[in-house]
A and B are shown apart, each in its own frame.
Chain A
């Protein structure tokens, strides 16, 4: 293995972020670049060190003796658990990154014509997976614990924990790499199968994949509903010495408690495991690393253009063409399919948790109404927010087609808005039915909330579309971002505000319901009507903003 090659490959990977940040590097000036690329890690080390010294100083000067001894035990436990923590964090982080990248994985494929061995490629790939948040975390935590340990006299353990953290991050990176290769391999297999079915297989498998991931993820993060199961997982994990991924942590804990023979055994086991994982990566990469371009035959035979249902609904040919194109994009492009995941997760989670908590339901009106509101209103609103947000950036480099085609701003906004409305509203009956069966709300409540959902979707959708056009990001390297980070935040905040504005007239009714204090000065139907008027006004305003943003977009084709 040539370490210089590996370093160069990692460097390329790091620079890939440039396109996203929009930096323009005019001069070829490596010295300066290197300083800035390592700056964030340097800052992390400095902060970690400072925090560590501060805590150590307090430990020495301010802690009474009994708290000191307590602190030492807690701190030792913390260090022993660090490798596993880092492993989980890195795993979650790199996996998420991989999912986001999956749409363009072929663009990041190994430059196979270069004199680079698969070992070198794999090593570089694992390291660059770990770059960023995981490595910054390690760069901050390691000096911190070493600094504290210098005061508490636990230096060997702290150094061991620091090394173990690196090993854990590497393990996580390697695991992600294995999954990445397999993913490319399997979707590649689906790619190569021909016929329309291939697209549906892809669609369905991506949905299942993401849903499973999000469910596991949200249970791990929030532990909603199945706290019992989580506890079981935790207890299994503590006894999971036979799971290779915790071997690094186990090694550390044996050394910490002075059981050096066991420690040595697990040290050797850990090393063997990491090496084995690495060679698994290399051999998988050697076999499947090269991306084979997909060749899906979607249709064959006579070309018979459709006469358009959309045309009858009052869409101009341009608009219905755009709508049909977007529909195909959202069912065929993996990173777009994920837009449909969140609503599904929002539907599934209450179903799951309703199995667990079926005994203690409907003690008051409060959880019922909120549960139902969450299940029915939230997915549609979020759908409107997300779709509007990236329906423009989704065009990617092909936005040029839109630029030079005779598409007016009106056509553009109308078709995108219609698409967004269609998908946000189509999930409304589904979520409402699910919500109805779980929470059994009163019919009045249900219809109020459905009406409100529609209002919110119209207003928030128009706003997010306006934001999405303004903040669109057409860079596809190294992965499609679709919207610039600052605009995604602006969108989140403004959409939240707009949603609240639409719902505002109902707030007194909600307060009355929850507290029992008579606070209402409007009948429910009056509140709904006012809320509808607010939504209509907002929709018109935001639609106009979207139009003027689109005009600007279409005349400033200088991406």
Chain B
């Protein structure tokens, strides 16, 4: 497929509806290579839907989606080959053992035996799954399952990582490793787009941040630009987020609950 593309991700006027519900509304987004992009937004704002459209898992009604220069509508399999995706729920085959599952993933992405072996062992060691890799996944804890899902996204050295709430259920140590690892990959030119609810991480890791609300991109930019947009010069991301998504009236809500 074409390797000479200007942008890693290009969404143009994308709209996705589920019946009457507009999940993503006229979205425009362009990511350049080697960027780490964070997608924030309240529950149900369309983050996961956007990420699924990048892989061609969900077809938009309007607009065009290009990933690594490939049209997501025309050749989703070509995109899937180049991309690493970690879904919201891990979706693992519970009857396989951790190692069998990763072996399966390696084969799916056409990795060579030796490469597969060394890579899997490295990741298992780094994410402290050693000693449990021979157990059936059905007996894993939530965090262990998430680790396996993440390893399967990283395993084949993708050029673009699409991570849907990647740090869900992870312990602090692993979260830190993943964070640093993403920075490391960025040096190698890997682009990352991830959705998250953990604002500190978005603030610390992401080059640019997009805030979604009811299917629309409310704000887009680096921390400085976001501060300016919310006209909150020295605030953290949490306050900006709450203000932009109109959920700043927390105090009133809490008072209502306490009553």
Contacts and interface: CB of A to CB of B under 8 A. Distances in A.
Interface stretch (A60-68, A221-229, A323-331): A323-331
Given A293-B138, A328-B100, A404 B57 contact: yes
A307 B107 CA distance: 11
Interface in B6-61: 18, 52, 55-59
B154 to A, nearest CB: 14
Contacts of A325: 93, 96, 104
Contacts of A295: 135-136, 139
A305 B77 contact: no
B80 A294 contact: no
Interface stretch (A87-95, A393-401, A434-442, A445-453): A393-401
A408 interface: yes
B108 interface: yes
Contacts of A405: 80, 105, 108-109
Contact of A305 (B59, B95, B103, B108): B103
Interface stretch (A117-125, A155-163, A207-215, A296-304): A296-304
A400 B93 contact: no
A408 B56 CA distance: 13
Interface stretch (A313-321, A421-429, A486-494): A313-321
Contact of B97 (A299, A320, A322): A299
A333 B135 CA distance: 15
B233 interface: no
Contacts of B139: 293-296
A401 B58 CA distance: 14
Interface in B119-168: 120-121, 133-136, 138-139
B99 interface: yes
A555 B80 CA distance: 12
B107 A303 contact: no
B99 A401 contact: no
Nearest to B81: A406
B93 A401 contact: yes
Contact of A303 (B81, B93, B95, B117): B117
A510 to B, nearest CB: 44
Given A293-B139, A328-B95, A406 B108 contact: yes
Interface string A525-557: 000000000000000000000000000001111
Contacts of B215: none
A303 B116 CA distance: 10
A294 B18 CA distance: 38
A332 interface: yes
A515 to B, nearest CB: 52
Residue picked from B58, B78, B107, B121, most chain A C-beta under 10 Å: B107
Interface stretch (B84-92, B198-206, B219-227): B84-92
Nearest to A401: B91
Contact of A557 (B58, B93, B117): B58
Interface residues of A toward B: which range? Answer: 35 or more
A300 B116 contact: no
B106 interface: yes
B110 interface: yes
A407 interface: yes
Contacts of B103: 303, 305, 321
A407 to B, nearest CB: 7
Contacts of B85: 404
A305 B55 CA distance: 29
Interface string B183-210: 0000000000000000000000000000
A305 B106 contact: yes
A235 interface: no
Contacts of A364: none
A321 B117 contact: no
Given A406-B77, A555-B76, A329 B93 contact: yes
Contact of B134 (A299, A317, A328, A397): A299
Contacts of A299: 97, 99, 134
Contacts of B138: 293-294
A70 interface: no
B134 A298 contact: yes
A297 B132 CA distance: 8
A416 B85 CA distance: 24
A333 B138 CA distance: 11
A293 B141 CA distance: 10
Contacts of B134: 297-301
Interface in B213-246: none
B113 interface: yes
B57 A403 contact: yes
A397 B92 CA distance: 9
Given A406-B81, A408-B77, A296 B135 contact: yes
A400 B77 contact: no
A403 to B, nearest CB: 5
A404 B59 contact: no
Nearest to B106: A305
Contact of B95 (A324, A329, A408, A557): A329
B57 A398 contact: no
B136 A296 contact: yes
Contacts of B106: 305
A558 interface: yes
Contacts of B109: 405-406
B109 to A, nearest CB: 7
A401 B28 CA distance: 28
Contacts of B135: 295-298
Given A298-B97, A303-B120, A404 B107 contact: no
B81 to A, nearest CB: 4
Contacts of B92: 398, 401
A476 to B, nearest CB: 11
A320 B107 contact: yes
Contacts of A307: 113
Contacts of B97: 298-299
A291 to B, nearest CB: 11
Contacts of A320: 107
A324 B104 contact: yes
A303 B93 CA distance: 19
B101 to A, nearest CB: 9
A303 B104 contact: no
B91 A318 contact: no
Contact of B91 (A324, A333, A398): A398
B107 A321 contact: yes
30 contacts: A294-B138, A295-B136, A295-B139, A298-B136, A299-B134, A307-B113, A317-B110, A318-B108, A321-B104, A324-B107, A325-B96, A325-B104, A328-B96, A332-B136, A333-B95, A397-B89, A397-B91, A398-B92, A398-B94, A400-B87, A400-B89, A400-B91, A401-B92, A404-B57, A404-B87, A405-B108, A406-B108, A407-B108, A557-B58, A558-B58
Given A317-B108, A325-B93, A557-B57, 4 more contacts: A294-B138, A303-B133, A401-B91, A407-B77
